[in-house]
Structure 1
Amino acid sequence: MRNKIRAAVIGIGLTAVSVLATGGSASSHGYTDSPISRQKLCANGTVTGCGAIQYEPQSVEGPKGFPAGGPADGLICAGGNSQFAELDDPRGGNWPATKVNAGQSYTFNWRFTASHATTDFRYYITRNGWNPGQKLTRASLEPQPFLTVPYHGQRPPSSLSHAGTLPSGKSGKHLILAVWTIADTGNAFYACSDVSF
């Protein structure tokens, strides 16, 4: 019996070491709350029927390298994680949206539950004519981020804000995709925020 318990403890320890060594998600990490992200709307109960993401809004982690790499089209808001598929559901274009103005100065805010060495933060926005009733694809987004914040391998504090300017020439409903790229793993964190100009 002792050998079985000892073997189980060793097995659990090796699994934990393996997850950490490969950059796997052993704990949770971060999300945007300004503009409020879909995962935060689920966590605070504003949106219901969200599944597992309501308990861990900080866990939307997927492959880095967006847009050349990263999650597949239609799976971007969930970071390619099937357990968070509710984030990719457009809900008929009815996600609550933060009211903003084209060309305005805006402060983007992240909340972190675990700090990682960071390459940068990038913010993308949907093209004019985007259909908010469809899943997010690369073709839905402007090809270049409208804001990039280099972070040079530093680790962010528990809360971090970036000042930027929202693109001009936007009206109606749009989606902002925030990507937090990790420097020392193969992953990034993704957060989709619905906005209304």
Structure 2
Amino acid sequence: MTGSYLLSSQIYLMLPAQASVVAPHSQAQLVAALFGTSGLVAVVGQLRITRWFSARWRPGRSVYIGVALMAASFAPLAAIPNSQRLGTPAAVAALLAAAALLAVASAAVFPFEMHIVVSLSSERLVATHYGFYNTIIGVGILAGNFAIGALLGTEHRLDTDELVWAALILVGLIAATGLYRHDAKINVPGRAVPV
């Protein structure tokens, strides 16, 4: 789950930084549009998204599908090289699409993640489990953002455009795969699953 938190936090870090690359003269307006898009998806769509996922899948499956969607949210940014990004409508659309997809994916993941933490705690010492869980998540986000900063430096030295986006996609795919394997292990046919 650390990977999902690292990815979702990029709405505050890499996406606004990318706004300065895409539209250096109107960065503030583009960042406002990013947060507006993300907020609108959350306010209008949260309950609908949660209900839609609940109607189709159990919590564990909803989480790994949501994390895979988080990984996919960075694909529009990786698809357009920086040389083609400056001020183009396609670059702005890719950035806003990434923000919208990330908001949808976050809305899909986080309600079910809470259910999973409670079930893994066997409904005992839930607050202690949440506290420990959040500590691990915080350390993971810190380390992940340091790594992203280092990748940005490397990206500039190598004059490559998509290194950070590819890394974020990879983090999402690894996290989704780990969550899939965990879900498959606890949902073995014939094995009792805590609810």
TM-score where L is the length of structure 1:
0.27
Which structure has the higher relative contact order (CA within 8 Å, separation 6+)? 2
Q: Structure 1 or 2: larger helix share?
A: 2
TM-score where L is the length of structure 2:
0.27
